[in-house]
Structure 1
Amino acid sequence: MSQTTLPPETSDKNVLTYSALNTFRNCPRKYKHRYIDNLRPRMKVESLSFGSVIHSAIEIWYRSANDANRLWKALDFIDRSFPERATDENQMANWHLARAMFSGYASRYPTEDFTIIEVEKTFTGQIRNPDTGRCSQTFVMAGKADAIVQRSDGMYLLEHKTAASIDGNYLDKLWTDTQIALYSYYLRELGYPIVGIIYNVLLKSRLKQSPGETEQEYEARHAELAAKNKSGKSTAKRQMPETNEEFQGRLAAWYSKPESFHREFIYLSEERLAMLQDEVWEITQQYLDARRRGKWLLNTSSCFSYQRPCEYLSYCQSGFNPNVAENLYEITPPHEELTSIDSDSPVF
């Protein structure tokens, strides 16, 4: 994994990430739970876990661009990511999907129209007061970009996404992705002339492995068909469970369709990047005010964002009961993805 060393002039500052900024903006109380109290849910959201597996497999794929065995390496990683699949139905379903999705991806993009410059590029950068241009005395921004690529028309960030659907609404939402635009700004400061973002979207198939018929279901269907036949008989056979090989074949056919994958190009304007810097500065000032006063407001309008309950909802509902915290959460420093940063600076 690539590493980033904090420059000497920033080594005594608190590392701030976009995830932390966005969490504070949406709900200061949630920010406190995760980034101050270091509470992390013991149960990870399944969709996030699946996305992480695909993300890591793509990382292996591009890091091994000159390796003839790179597909095997990526699929082996996927296999090892679902060790309990033989006894866990959810793991089995996700294993099938991940294997078929990535195999389809490798077939769709055996070669690329870009050159990989960086994979999992970590960075740090100054947060500046937009009015004075002076650097924050408290914070430094840090993050990690999926990849930086060079095309004939310029340098781009390559951002990987898995999606349940790829429609007009989904593509419009990509423009609102403040995180990646902000990453582009800081990578520009490091000497990468980013002109735009390529969203590398992989569609999640909704196919399910057929469980077949139980003996009772078969007998009921057989009797119904026999009753409709003048002879009073039926030659219907019991529908057996779909084997792993059969299901993988059906998924492979689904992922051979062009619409299973999509790449969306979004170009950056100087006005938007300047606006983002203003927003970052304002949020840091709001954070400093909340920390100084010890006021972490609860924004209930964010309790059910993304069509699912906030992972801290149970804790908030309990009145911050320490027993609930102990049972549902573990103490883990935030932003494990930045632990490779060679610094003793705390991450906020």
Structure 2
Amino acid sequence: AKMELLYDMPIPLGEPHDVISIEASKLKPATTYAMGTNSRTGKESPFVTLAGQERVERNGKNVTVYATMIRSHINPEHIEVNKGDNVTIHLTNLERAQDETHGFTVDLYNIHASLEPGKTATVNFVADEEGVFPYYCTEFCSALHLEMMGYLLVKDPNKKYESAKANRLKTLSPEALKAEYDKVIATNKATDEVIQSVVAYLKEKHYEKYPKVKELVTDALDQYGKIPEVKAKADEAYKKGDVNGAILWEYQVWQYMVKTADVGLRAKNNLAKEIATPMSPAAAKGEEAYLKGGCNGCHVIGQVSSGPDLTGVLLRHENGEKWVFDFIKDPSKFYGDEYIKSMIDYFNLRMPNQHMSDQEIKDIIEYLKWIDENAGM
């Protein structure tokens, strides 16, 4: 008899080989792990690190790093060790959202850890090669995934090293240096305005009533709370006429702002869903089909990312529901369409055929209707 295709797993959902089927009733999943859960034993790790507790400790040739991971940064973002040091890195995933697994690896050092939200994992290696080695998240965790990286600097203690960024700034004329300073100040101001708009929304909608949203806001505030100390150093450097130093400190301010904005926007999105109108059964099934189909690997809702925003998609075309149905059913038929061609050119990708059933597509359309009903949230 011909085998029936039960499920076609697209790339965003992971590697389809070497899987095992388990009866759903046997699974008792938790949304997230208790903060600091050991990734190997399931018990509390003595190395759990919370926001603000990140540090690097040295004891002779043994270097211990207490690090955190949260969209979309690894903290600390720079680790300096000497060649020959024995390096141990304890990592804690600070996420409180169930879909935010992070991975960790150091280029060329053949180590890897995978951390579900709340878990703490440890990697160990000998820094036996001099150079600069990026470490980064190995999971496609968010729209800012590519920014989730840092650098391991393995130095020869007998050599002197200089900062390329600092050296570049030194080559600038006083006028150019002032222009660079003004530019980063303007960027930070614009970023902070985004943060304050999110804060205003969260307060207006009483985020504190929703535990999961409140936890995300706590994460965001942890990052934002680090800014005043760094900002004071930037201002002090500028007052002393050290524009170069002020710029470097302002760069660090921006890093904390990006972390804050990233988590804050997730909190805003979660809150919007909490206060939105209830989903119909069909819309709920549509959301499930949307997620299982890997649609969120490219598409977003009310944001800018690697694929088109689906807000208002039913209103963009005459007889929108039929157009969306036909497009999901067989995207390739539309590749030559002027509108779709412009999307392909802009995002540099084509929507694949996910082989949705007619009922799944109808449910997705109901989900899209629910999105539009709550677009003002």
Q: Normalised by the size of structure 2, how large is the TM-score?
A: 0.23
Q: Normalised by the size of structure 1, how large is the TM-score?
A: 0.25
Which structure has more relative contact order (CA 8 Å, sep 6+)? It is 1
